[in-house]
Structures are given as structure tokens and as C-alpha cells.
Amino acid sequence: MSSVKKIAVFTSGGDAPGMNAAIRAVVRTAVYHDLHVYGIYRGYDGMVTGDIKRLEVGDVANIIQRGGTMLKTARSEAFRTPEGRKQAYESLIAHDIDGVVAIGGDGTYTGADIFSKEYKIPFVGLPGTIDNDIYGTDYSIGFDTAINTAIEAVDKIRDTADSHNRLFFVEVMGRHAGFIALHTGIGSGAGAIFLPETDTSIEELSDILKKSAKRQKLFNLVIVAEGNQNGDANTLAKQIKKGNPEYDVKVTIIGHLQRGGSPTAMDRVLASRMGHSAVQSLLRGESGVALGIINDKITFTPFMEAVSKTKHLNKDLVRMAEILAM
């Protein structure tokens, strides 16, 4: 067991549903182990400026069902500099903090890795991002809620598409990874899915539309990840309309709607497990690692391995999506 007595928790980068559940688990597990626990507000920026407050069990009551993050989140240019990190270290030392739980994505992990090596304060990371693109875990906090939100929106769009015989291009988040688009496409029964990882062309989509028309198949839904290499939803829609003027083409961009809302049961349980395990790992002396869950078991990946390695889409799911869209 380590000598950790006072720990801090913060959220950084983009917010994700379930972050509050993770914060709650960290605080209550810490108190159970007779630790003092502090909340760092506005991520690394709050660490630099000293926006740090003691948290008790009651402070995290009635937050498990809330989206966003009670600790707020912000980007910090100051933390990127040695001077800023020195200020951050002084802020932690002023509260005698000797262990930190960082909830976020790649940028959060990179900052935690640099800082913990410079100042020897143990850091453990939790994957908090709706994109689900962090290496070292099957699922990240917020992903399940994001795809459920997207599917609910797509289901409503399909109602109007069916009523007016329109072809909808629906854009979901995913600049560099297509996890949200793939799962949304499968879950909503989309006719085609455009992913950053694949090179589906507009010509291929035109062929699919023509084949569907010959079979008199109702084809009215295309899911597009915002980082698709052949263009965003608006670009693809214009190209299809140009080559197929008979189609009534519409575009819907779901956008930041996917970040909000009450977390699903899966995200609440996932975040709670991770927050609970993060405190226990600090007590065991773990440091410089990102916590994940693979095959339903808690795992640990060094920060820079989690950042540098790419998490790939399940090829079987991609192939299945193509087959089911026939």
C-alpha cells in the first residue's frame, strides 16, 4: 500500500456523459478509505490557478444522473509551459495532495504523463470521451450515451424520411475515429456508413442507391462521421444530388447534442467502476497509467502507450454493417 493520504480529481478536454458518475465514485471511495479528496475545477487551468476545493460525500450526491461535469472543464495554455506546470505543482503541494485522478482523453493523458514525471506525483487516468478512441479500453466514459442519443435522433429523422421519401445524410461526431458512426449506423439500420478509417467513395454510394432502386428497396439514411476522408455530410449530399437529381436530399448534423444528456445505465456503471478502481490503484502505488476495462476486467496502460497507439475499429463489425445494409 502507498502512503497516499490526500487525492484530487479533475476532468479535462471535452465533456462526456458519465463524468459525474466517475467523480462521485472517486470521492466516495476515497472517503471510505479515510482519504481527503479535492476537486480541481476547470481541468489543468484550475490546477495552475489553484481553483481546488475539498469535497465531501454530500458534495457528490444527486449527480450520477447528470450529464456534463460538475468540476467543469477547460483547455489550459499555461499548463503547456514549464512555468505553468510549476504553478500547478505548487497548488497541489499547498493542499498536500499526493495522488491525482485525471478524467479525459489523449490531451489529458499527455499532460498527466509529463507532469507526473516532472514532479513525481502519482497520476491515474480514466478515459472520458464520447469518441471511444482511446487505446487500452473497450469502452470510454460517455460513448454509450452518445450513440444512444444519436440513434434516438436518427430514428426521428427516419420517420420524416419515410413520410416524404427523402434521402437523409446524418453527420455524427468523430473527427479521427468512426466508432460513433459505425455503432449509430448499425443500431439505426442505415443504408450506408462513411467512416474516417474507410475509403468509401461517392461513386460506390451511387451504385448502392441504383441497386436499391432496382430492388425497390427503401433507402433513405446515410450516416457520416464528421472526419470522413471523402467529405462531410454536406459535401457528400451535394455530390449525390448532382449525380442523382431525382433524389430529395437533406442533411442533418447532430453535433454537440451527442455530448449532453443523462448518462445511460451502462455509462453510469462503467464510470463508477473506473472511479472506484482509480482510487484503489493509487492506494496500491500505481502511477502514470490509464485505467481501462477490457473483456470486463480492469486493465492499466502506460499513459504514452494509450496516447501513441491507435485503437482500431472492429473489422468484423464494419463488414457486418455492409452486409446488413443490403
Identify the CATH number of the domain in which residue 37 sits.
3.40.50.450
What does the block give as the cell for 123?
497520476
Separation of alpha carbons 174 and 237, rounded Å: 18
Task: Mark whether 54 and 194 lie in a shared domain.
Answer: no
Q: What is the rounded average pLDDT of the residues 49-68?
A: 97
Lowest mean pLDDT, pick from 63-67, 145-149, 248-252? 248-252
State the angle between helix axes of 265-283 and 143-164 in degrees (0 to 180), rounded to the nearest 10: 160
List the domain range (segments joined by +) for residue 47. 6-142+263-308
Task: Mark whether 130 and 120 lie in a shared domain.
Answer: yes
pLDDT of 326 strictly over 80: no
Task: Mark whether 138 and 267 lie in a shared domain.
Answer: yes
Other Cβ atoms within 10 Å of 304 Cβ, number: 15
What does the block give as the cell for 76?
489550459
* Residues whose CB falls within 8 Å of the CB of residue 79, separated by 6 or more in sequence, listed in order: 44, 45, 47, 48, 85, 88, 111, 115
Spatial contact of 221 and 158, defined as CB atoms under 8 Å apart: yes
- Note whether residue 318 is domain-resident: no
pLDDT tens-place string over residues 178-227: 999 999 999 999 989 999 998 888 888 888 887 777 766 666 789 999 98
| Helix H or strand E encompassing 123 | strand 123-127
pLDDT tens-place string over residues 268-286: 999 999 999 999 999 999 9
pTM of the model: 0.94
Residue 103: phi and psi, rounded to 5, are -110, 115
Asked about 131 being catalytic, the answer comes back as: yes
- Note whether residue 322 is domain-resident: no
Task: Mark whether 73 and 128 lie in a shared domain.
Answer: yes
Q: What is the pLDDT of residue 207?
A: 83
Spatial contact of 140 and 263, defined as CB atoms under 8 Å apart: no
Identify the CATH number of the domain in which residue 202 sits.
3.40.50.460
Q: What share of the chain is helix, strand, coil (3-state, %, to 5)?
A: 45, 20, 35
Task: Mark whether 132 and 17 lie in a shared domain.
Answer: yes
- Note whether residue 326 is domain-resident: no
Task: Mark whether 135 and 72 lie in a shared domain.
Answer: yes
Task: Mark whether 26 and 103 lie in a shared domain.
Answer: yes
pLDDT tens-place string over residues 217-247: 666 789 999 988 888 999 999 998 888 888 8
Task: Mark whether 251 and 273 lie in a shared domain.
Answer: no
Q: What is the pLDDT of residue 325?
A: 80
Task: Mark whether 286 and 250 lie in a shared domain.
Answer: no
Separation of alpha carbons 21 and 269, rounded Å: 8
Task: Mark whether 18 and 87 lie in a shared domain.
Answer: yes
Quote the mean pLDDT of the chain. 93
Q: What is the pLDDT of residue 162?
A: 75
- Note whether residue 320 is domain-resident: no
Burial (CB < 10 A; 0-12, 13-18, 19+), residue 297, is exposed
Pairing of strands 52-55, 167-172: unpaired
- Note whether residue 72 is domain-resident: yes
- Note whether residue 81 is domain-resident: yes
Q: What is the pLDDT of residue 15?
A: 93
Task: Mark whether 181 and 276 lie in a shared domain.
Answer: no
Task: Mark whether 123 and 151 lie in a shared domain.
Answer: no
**Coil, helix or strand for 71?**
coil
Separation of alpha carbons 291 and 128, rounded Å: 11
Q: What is the pLDDT of residue 129?
A: 95
pLDDT of 17 strictly over 90: yes
Q: How confident is residue 306, by pLDDT bands cut at 50, 70 and 90? A: very high
To the nearest whole percent, how much of the chain has pLDDT over 90?
A: 76
pLDDT tens-place string over residues 106-158: 999 999 999 999 999 999 999 999 999 999 999 999 999 999 999 999 999 88
Q: What is the pLDDT of residue 248?
A: 85
Q: How many domains does the chain have?
A: 2
Q: What is the pLDDT of residue 219?
A: 63
- Note whether residue 178 is domain-resident: yes
pLDDT of 1 strictly over 70: no
Q: What is the rounded average pLDDT of the residues 47-64?
A: 97
Dihedral sign, Cα of residue 300, residue 301, residue 306, residue 309: negative
Q: What is the rounded average pLDDT of the residues 40-45?
A: 97
Q: Chain centroid to CA 162: how far? A: 31
What does the block give as the cell for 239?
455530390
- Note whether residue 313 is domain-resident: no
Q: What is the pLDDT of residue 205?
A: 84
Q: What is the pLDDT of residue 245?
A: 84
Separation of alpha carbons 311 and 95, rounded Å: 37
Q: Of the residues 15, 45, 113, 131, which is catalytic? A: 131
Q: What is the pLDDT of residue 176?
A: 87
